[in-house]
Amino acid sequence: MKNFALSALALVGAGTLSACAEESANPAAPATGEVNIYTSRHYDTDLALYEDFTRETGIKVNRIEADADALIERIAAEGEFSPADLFITVDAGRLWRAEEAGILAPVDSQVLAERIPANLRDPENRWFGLTTRARIIIYNKAKGAPEGLDTYADLADPALRGRVCMRSSSSVYNVALLASIIAHEGSDMAAAWAKGVTANFARAPQGNDMSNIEAVAAGECDVSLVNTYYLARFDTPEKRAILDKIGVIFPNQGTTGTHVNLSGAGVVANAPNRENAVRFLEYLTSDKAQGFLANGNNEYPAANGVAPTSAVQALGRFRPDPLRAAEIGRNQARAVELFNAARWN
Ligand code: FE
């Protein structure tokens, strides 16, 4: 299992010389002008960010890319000999799992405390949100928005029987949403919601957010739930024609606010280059870096006062759910249980 995780790792050098974090794995070596990033973000645009940081500070960025859980497992296995300085991933649940695995250390930084809103970071400052994405309702425009559909709760209304497409409940995006419903309304209401939505499925859960957008556009079902940035990926003339068939609803605007998940980062407990890691993390919250991060994948900047400039702006302004992201982490295991009980596969 562990070997599989290790062999699945992709080693990528961010600089012009292909640099590999393994080279700095000697625990006896003093901290150098480097920072070693273990990331499950894999957007090419993030590369520009690493290069910019190096240009500004002279600190070289080495990065290892892999699936978040493989990285957590690897950092835990490497223990005090881990070259990892900074862990970056998407999903509040994964950040919480990293925290629970004990691989992250608190960072006492005034910059981070001021830049990142309290609900988008760990109360004990072991991880910090960098960008957010909203999970919104989409509907088929030709069929029209189902009457009275403006909350997540409405998706469980029997009026939608046979009209809802969803991806699997194993998706962390769905787990995080249900975890937020547990936090707001309690387990019983959340369980009833999962059952109600499952009863409304037009077909067995399948595909990803992209294919569910296509299914709604094609009229295979009337509504679905997707992350905002996927809509921005329909950016060629052909894809634009698909997107034109889609209407969007930011749910819960009159109640809890629209559920948002985040991408974020935490400094590793045994970071050999801790100072550089904190510096890089602080840099990631700067206006410039927030622009790189958010625009690269069409997300919303997490930092205070940074306006979104990416394509998702065209979807409109909305009120996000101010729930602490840590609550999503805390409730994720329960959410998985409720999905299973509802047979939302
Ligand atoms: Fe995604």
Give tens-digit pLDDT for 156-189: 999 999 999 999 999 999 999 999 999 999 999 9
**Residue span of the structural domain in which 200 resides:** 133-259+317-342
Q: Looking at the structure, do residues 105 and 55 belong to the same domain, yes or no? A: yes
| pLDDT tens-digit readout, 260-315 | 999 999 999 999 999 999 999 999 999 999 998 998 889 999 999 998 877 888 89
Q: Looking at the structure, do residues 266 and 118 belong to the same domain, yes or no? A: yes
Q: Looking at the structure, do residues 127 and 137 belong to the same domain, yes or no? A: no
Q: Looking at the structure, do residues 66 and 151 belong to the same domain, yes or no? A: no
The string of DSSP letters for 205-266 reads S-S-HHHHHHHHHTTS-SEEEEEHHHHTT--SHHHHHHHTTEEEE-TTTTTT-B-EEEEEEE
Provide mean pLDDT across the span 219-228: 97
Assign 31 a pLDDT band (cuts: 50, 70, 90).
low
Q: Looking at the structure, do residues 72 and 173 belong to the same domain, yes or no? A: no
Q: Is 200 within 8 Å of 182 (Cβ atoms)?
A: no
Residue 17's SS3 state is coil
pLDDT at 40 over 90: yes
Q: Looking at the structure, do residues 336 and 211 belong to the same domain, yes or no? A: yes
Q: Which residues of 16-37 are buried (b: 16+ CB within 10 A; e: fewer)?
A: eeebebeebeeeeeeeeebbbb
Provide mean pLDDT across the span 65-79: 96
Q: Looking at the structure, do residues 322 and 192 belong to the same domain, yes or no? A: yes
**CA–CA distance from 243 to each of 233, 239, 254, 321 (Å)?**
9, 6, 26, 26
Give 240 Cα–ligand 1 centroid separation in angstroms. Answer: 19
Calpha distance 222→216 (Å, rounded): 6
- For residue 214, the domain's CATH number is 3.40.190.10
Give 41 Cα–ligand 1 centroid separation in angstroms. Answer: 10
Give 57 Cα–ligand 1 centroid separation in angstroms. Answer: 31
Provide mean pLDDT across the span 213-220: 98
Q: Looking at the structure, do residues 38 and 126 belong to the same domain, yes or no? A: yes
Q: Looking at the structure, do residues 209 and 338 belong to the same domain, yes or no? A: yes
Give 210 Cα–ligand 1 centroid separation in angstroms. Answer: 9
Q: Which of 86, 84, 209, 197 is nearest to 149 (CA)?
A: 197
Q: Looking at the structure, do residues 56 and 155 belong to the same domain, yes or no? A: no
Calpha distance 281→128 (Å, rounded): 9
| pLDDT tens-digit readout, 231-242 | 999 999 999 999
For the chain, percent of residues with pLDDT exceeding 90: 83
Q: Looking at the structure, do residues 228 and 138 belong to the same domain, yes or no? A: yes
Contacts of 73 (CB under 8 A, 6+ apart): 2, 5
Calpha distance 100→88 (Å, rounded): 15
Q: Looking at the structure, do residues 266 and 304 belong to the same domain, yes or no? A: yes
**Mean pLDDT, the chain, integer:** 90
Give 147 Cα–ligand 1 centroid separation in angstroms. Answer: 29
Domains held by the chain: number: 2
